[in-house]
Amino acid sequence: MREKALFVPGPAAERMRSAAPPRRREAIAEKSARAQELAARLARAYPQIECPLAHENAFQLLAAVILSAQCTDAAVNKVTPELFRRFPTPLALSRAPLAAIESIIRTLGLFRAKARSLKRCAEQLVREFDGVVPATMAELTRLAGVGRKTANVMLGHAFNTPCIAVDTHCKRLANRLGLTRQQDPVKIERELARLLPPAQWTGFSHRLIIHGRRICNARKPACARCELASLCPSSQAEPK
Ligand code: SF4
């Protein structure tokens, strides 16, 4: 769904506009410097970026990320212990009856489709990758239930490969922060990648997601307590 206007027009908004830099076209070097300062502030605000999905290996993380589509990490963490206890390997999951997988994950939205994806993904891992989760974007995105965002999460968290995972929060914040005007996740990923060195990609995109959940809410951004407000062209915070 497309984001609505980034800045709510009206007298109050006009009065507050001076709190933040104006939305204008920036030279790439200027935008890159601002992105690096944003990254530094986010790193201070959220020093830890552990993946919130409970897992002990790449296979478990892959299953958990597939299950996390359109539901909360907490809900996924409630079902995965039983799933991994019953089916601890790709081979075991590939042989699991679909009904057994469904019954374990039935509290999650889209559980039937997710059960099918899990089983097909496990079958592919066994058949095409000797039961080992592959570590490249091209191979990961061949797996059932794995799109570019899931593959990026895997690359960043399981394989320590610099990546930018663009979910709904990352997309919203990248736009509000004036780092992109794109709506397509792949284009956003490319634009953010141009602004920051690879060593910062994983942390920056992960922290944007955390910040989107905690502060820069889709409907009601808490600009008044946002560490990024002085660098954000969409800020509605009062000038300090
Ligand atoms: S919450 Fe922060 S990042 Fe979001 S619009 Fe407000 S100032 Fe910008």
CA distance 195 to 211: 19
**Contact, 33 vs 99, CB < 8 A?**
no
Q: Is 22 exposed, middle or buried (0-12, 13-18, 19+ CB in 10 A)?
A: exposed
Block residue for tokens 């284009």: 187
CATH number attached to the domain at 58-158: 1.10.340.30
Residue 36 in this model has a pLDDT that exceeds 50: yes
Picking from 49-53, 107-111, 207-211, which range would have the lowest pLDDT averaged per residue?
A: 49-53
Query: Which of 235, 236, 238, 240, when mutated, tests ligand 1's pocket best, judged by the most ligand atoms within 8 Å of its CB?
Result: 235
Provide the residue ranges of all domains of the chain, joining segments of one domain with +. 11-44+163-231, 58-158
In words, the CATH class of domain 11-44+163-231 is mainly alpha
Distance (angstroms) between ligand 1 centre and the Cα of 165 equals 20
Give the chain's radius of gyration (CA, Å).
20
pTM over 0.85: no
Predicted pLDDT of residue 50 = 83
Residue 240 in this model has a pLDDT that exceeds 70: no
